[in-house]
Amino acid sequence: MNVSIVCVGKVKDKYILDGIAEFQKRLQPFAKFEILEVKEYGKEQSPTQAMEKETGELISVLERLGGYHILLDVKGKERDSLEMAKHLEGLQVQGKSRVNFIIGGSDGYTDALRKYCQERLSFSKFTFPHQLMRLILIEQIYRWFSINHHIKYHK
């Protein structure tokens, strides 16, 4: 399976980069994994303009990638790790060879992106920095694959 995280901006903190690199390495036996970043416009333009530009660039990347798109959204469906592992396995059984997880920028995203994605997933009602969310998400992706492959990681 091909798995991507499509997100806005670059990670600057070394501890987050180190964590992401560790889970990328762990994912290698299970999936072809990549992180694709689009430019963050937050400091250059108004929040609305930034959100529209970032959303447009995210949709462009998703159109190029194809596959099944899961948008991280506080109003999305909540699942626990076991449910999400089963869901990911179900997507594979349905013939979905690519799954893209999308993390918006600090200003959010427009309804166009919500409508473009097949699914919205919520990790909780808390707000997380979008850079940290990448690390949380990649750890969970590894957890889901470890559950499905019966690797002793999830407790």
Residue type, 78: E
**Annotation-wise, does 76 bind a ligand?**
no
CA dist list (Å): 150 to 37, 53, 154, 155: 31, 41, 9, 11
Kindly report the length of the chain. 155
Residue 72, annotated as binding a ligand:
yes
Residues marked as binding?
A: 72, 104
Residues marked as binding for S-adenosyl-L-methionine?
A: 72, 104
